[in-house]
A and B are shown apart, each in its own frame.
Chain A
Amino acid sequence: MREFIDGNTAIVRAALDSGCTFFAGYPITPASAILMAMMRELPRVGGVAIQGEDEIASIGMCIGATLAGARAMTATSGPGISLYSENVGLAIMGEVPLVIVDVQRLGPSTGGATTVSQGDVQFVRWGTAGGFPIIALSPSTVPEAYALTAKAFDLAERFRCPVFLLTDKELATTLATVDLDAYPQVAVRSRATGEGGPPYRFDPVDVVTPLHEFGRGTTVRFTGSTHDEAGFITKHLPTVDALNRHLIEKIEAHRAEIEMVDADLEDDATTLVLGYGITGGAVRAAVATARSRGERFSGLVLQTLWPVPETAIGAALGGVQRVIVPELNPGLYRREIECIAGGRTVIGVERIDGELISPEQILAAVA
């Protein structure tokens, strides 16, 4: 059996299958379909969905609901991510699991509401004060939208942090044929509720204490301010240092658990085409076309954008001499590749007119 569904619908289904019990969001093209579907479905499964008075309220409600035991998701587009900024920082500092869907549209500002873009790939990484690590995943197909939404819920729980899921107008609204067997089985990670103990632990530096929820028989304190393990505000230098190193190392020391790619490598490849998200379709098609012409190409479609999957990229770089990085933005992620490409030539293929990159456009860059 097959179905004809779009990325937004796949995300909603994956969220429900991942135990999502709370959603708050504000209408915005092209993410509104997620809001509407969650408003329809969540009350049917014992959850709660609410349309906030704005994006700030929406993410704030998600944070509160999570601490009270919900598994929460919100969805918006670039202009809404702008308004999420301060609370993304709070979720990092407060160690609050949360899935944030960014259905990218062409910016800046209100930009092109119904126009595809990949312009937020650096914004989600650096869009809140402090520069601390975040996790961002980026599906390139509808089945991946399902799988990576489920993965986003899992990583949010595992690392107690906000996880971004970056899609775009085309993946969100383009209908695709999916075989029902293509959806992975989803396992829902349990929480250590009612166990007591401190709400935060910084020692060992990379270990994450499971979330203790409100109202499970012990008092719990959470805060967005610099705090000790009990959740009290502190300026004690060793404690401040331990807290901040913990926020970094809990992710950095476990990159292998987070880094995901779809690699299609040839041992003797001279050219690597590296993309992510909706551009992944053109990457795969370009690699197939080049090989049919007898050229030695590898393809790498990143599913994790942050942290940068350096191990997998390093393996794909192997003996290649040049890397083509197609993006629907002014070359924003290419700089990450340039940092690890050694002496190889890195060629950007960029479109910022609101149309998708074609496989021919990728191949023309090295013709």
Chain B
Amino acid sequence: MTVTISAPYRNDTPYPFCPGCGHGGILDSLDEALRSLALDPSGVVIVSDIGCAGLSDQYFSTSAFHGLHGRSITYATGIKLARPELTVIVIMGDGGTGIGGAHLINAARRNVGITVLVFNNLNFGMTGGQHSTTTPEGAITATTPGGNLEHPLDICGTVGVNGAGYVHRGTSFDTDLAQRIAEAIAHPGFALLDIWELCTAYFVPANKATRRSLEATIERLGFGRGVLFERPVEDYGTAYRAAAAGLPPRSRPTPIAVEHSSPLVAPLSLLVAGSAGAKVRSAARLIGEAAIRSGLWVTQRDDYPVTVKTGHSVSEVMLAPTPRAPVGGGVPDVAVVASEDGLAKVRTLLGRMSPDGLVVTLPAFAGIASPAQVSVVDPAAAPGRVPRASLSLVLLTVAMTRRGVLSAAALRAAGAGPFAAENLAAIETGLALA
């Protein structure tokens, strides 16, 4: 194809549409609307997708993106979010409102400042006249030979009740179409025009459709014509930037200084088994940070079910004098059991531990079967009441202290971060019980 670019919006290539098809008239109205707004063609992006209407961008000398069926609104959303100053116009067919229905609703709800022109010819033209989401009840199409049984989608009502900034329904025959398109483009929020038209290849011959019958169908369905919704809303991307203006700079994790030491000379694997929601992972992490402060290299691997505050929560912490990648299959050297859920998950591993190993647990689990030394710690013996969410950290502090792996100073330093009061209290309890 040889394309001649002519100023400013349409190029000189003739439309490829069937005789009598409404698409060409709508595109002429779009051209007229763009001329009336006098926008920089390079700053206008026409986003099209699939079907006869999807060919439209090729007849314009603006910027353009031709994407996948029903997804044009998602591309347009990305373009507009990245560059709110661009004018982004989506050209889609009624087919796209079905396959891309979720995108239509959500772009309207967010008020992404794009303009959507639905070339609504009530059927799939390019693929052979199949019914679409907007085919009226009773209409004959290639896939509804006995008449369509489905109620047609009210595109305007759908986006309108979900907050769209500007919503208009008309036909390709309307003399004010260019003016309405220009209004829609000028509107800062999400704007949509549902433009009914005739598909002369399929819908017209199968249903004897005319301009008059199109208008009568809109009337019969009670869908309404003209500007149906108009709200003073802001473009989402513009609002996003305004909201971002007061945010602090990018956050960065606090580096951990090595300022303590550990006598550990060989890797030590530590298993913490408790219940989800009982701060097992955060307790394990705190121990890990204390070990890093002591010059050790630590990995922490967590296992938990898909549920949030029920079931087990198990952390495997490897402490080593040199860096080690996490690998599977390890039996722990030291284990902490803080709940029935945790015990159920790790019972087999506890049974495979070495006699040199250590299990630290609560009185309720004193009968744990393990070749390792089972050490029972009773939080009731502590000076103050120990909250359930602190049990893992108390038991871990006991285990690490009894093994002589981490110093009290390293544990206290690691505990002084977020939630310092609770963590330091648990560490002191553990040190007292050890």
Using a CB–CB distance below 8 Å, which chain A residues touch chain B? 1-5, 9, 16, 21-22, 24, 29, 40-41, 43-46, 48, 50, 52-54, 56-57, 59-70, 72, 86-87, 90, 94, 113-114, 140-141, 170, 173-177, 180, 214-225, 228, 230-234, 278, 280-282, 284-285, 351, 355-361
Contact = CB atoms under 8 A, between A and B. Distances in A.
A219 B61 contact: yes
Nearest to A357: B328
B376 to A, nearest CB: 29
B86 A284 contact: no
Interface string B1-18: 101010000000000000
Contacts of A2: 255-256, 258, 292
17 contacts: A2-B258, A4-B285, A45-B250, A50-B77, A57-B71, A57-B106, A59-B74, A60-B71, A64-B82, A69-B82, A90-B67, A221-B64, A222-B66, A224-B68, A232-B1, A232-B3, A351-B328
Main secondary structure on B side of the interface with A = mixed
B78 A24 contact: yes
Interface string B142-160: 0000000000000000000
B82 A21 contact: yes
B249 A44 contact: yes
Contacts, number: 246
Given A222-B65, A358-B330, A215 B85 contact: yes
B329 A57 contact: no
Interface in B54-108: 55, 57-58, 61-68, 71, 74-83, 85-86, 102-103, 105-106
Contacts of A87: 68, 71
B90 to A, nearest CB: 11
Interface string B230-253: 000000010010011001111101
A2 to B, nearest CB: 5
Interface of B: 1, 3, 5, 41-43, 45, 47, 55, 57-58, 61-68, 71, 74-83, 85-86, 102-103, 105-106, 237, 240, 243-244, 247-251, 253-258, 285, 288-289, 292, 296-306, 323-330
Given A356-B327, A358-B329, A231 B64 contact: yes
A64 B63 CA distance: 13
A52 B74 contact: yes
Which of A2, A65, A70, A216 has its CB near the most chain B CB atoms (within 10 A)?
A: A2
Given A70-B78, A175-B288, A219-B41, 6 more contacts: A3-B254, A50-B77, A63-B74, A65-B81, A114-B304, A219-B63
A57 B107 CA distance: 10
Nearest to B87: A215
Given A43-B244, A215-B63, A56 B79 contact: no
Given A1-B256, A174-B301, A215-B85, A64 B327 contact: no
A68 B83 contact: yes
Contacts of A360: 329
B253 A63 contact: no
A358 B325 CA distance: 11
Contact of A48 (B68, B82, B299): B82
B155 to A, nearest CB: 17
Nearest to A113: B306
A174 B299 contact: yes
Contact of A50 (B64, B67, B81): B81
A280 B326 CA distance: 9
B102 A230 contact: no
B79 A64 contact: yes
A44 B82 contact: no
Contacts of A29: 306
Given A175-B299, A234-B1, A65 B329 contact: no
Given A3-B255, A60-B78, A280 B325 contact: yes
Contact of B78 (A56, A61, A284): A61
Nearest to B323: A177
B102 A57 contact: yes
B85 to A, nearest CB: 7
Contact of B82 (A22, A170, A180, A220): A22
